[in-house]
């Protein structure tokens, strides 16, 4: 890779980061606080998504586990049964991902609560949710406002936002539990 190509990639990454900062400023702090309250109230927290969004939700489940929450990723072989009062957190940019919708409906049928992180507040997933964290960005999966596009491909800005929002939620949550986020968490993996 030539230096000029590397510079262009760095410039693209920097522009993407600036655009992402603007997107994150448009997310409701009140909705994030409502999501944190649901997490604190739930006996168990289940994270659900598809594709790259699922990777971001795996990170959320891990951070919650680090702080002592009983958190799981839907579909993993060690994920226990969902029960009344449990919380399902879904991430879907479009809010129409069929496998995510099916899981949200099932969680509702079992007496659980549902929260979602999505671009579309009017989506079927949002309609199933107790709390909707809306991310004002673009995804190529659906009929979305092209003026919200960023320099990043497809739904990348949504996925990046999900990761940063979940990591940002950890800061007040860890403080409330007495954890110093700069010293790691007691439940961090130690067989590595």
Q: Could you list the active site residues?
A: 159
Give Cα separations from 56 to 7, 122, 145, 169 (angstroms): 27, 22, 23, 14
Nearest to 61 by CA among 77, 80, 48: 48
Nearest to 110 by CA among 130, 81, 90, 131: 81
Cβ(154)–Cβ(140) below 8 Å = yes
Q: How far apart are CA 141 and CA 161, in angstroms?
A: 16
Give Cα separations from 185 to 28, 40, 129, 169, 174 (angstroms): 27, 17, 30, 15, 9
Cβ(150)–Cβ(19) below 8 Å = yes
């Amino acid at each position: 890779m030539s230096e000029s190509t590397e510079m262009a990639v760095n410039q693209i990454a920097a522009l993407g980061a600036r655009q992402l900062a603007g997107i994150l400023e448009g997310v409701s702090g009140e909705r994030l606080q409502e999501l944190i309250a649901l997490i604190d109230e739930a006996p168990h927290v289940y994270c659900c998504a598809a594709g790259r969004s699922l990777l971001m939700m795996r990170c959320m489940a891990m951070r919650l586990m680090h702080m002592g929450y009983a958190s799981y990723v839907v579909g993993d072989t060690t994920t226990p049964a969902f029960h009344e009062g449990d919380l399902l957190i879904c991430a879907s940019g479009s809010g129409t991902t069929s496998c995510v919708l099916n899981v949200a409906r099932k969680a509702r049928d079992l007496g659980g609560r549902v929260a979602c992180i999505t671009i579309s507040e009017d989506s079927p997933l949002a309609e199933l949710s107790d709390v909707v964290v809306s991310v004002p960005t673009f995804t190529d999966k659906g009929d979305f406002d092209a003026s919200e596009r960023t320099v990043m491909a497809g739904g990348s800005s949504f996925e990046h936002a999900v990761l940063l929002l979940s990591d940002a939620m950890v800061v007040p949550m860890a403080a409330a539990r007495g954890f110093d986020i700069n010293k790691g968490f007691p439940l961090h993996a130690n067989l590595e």
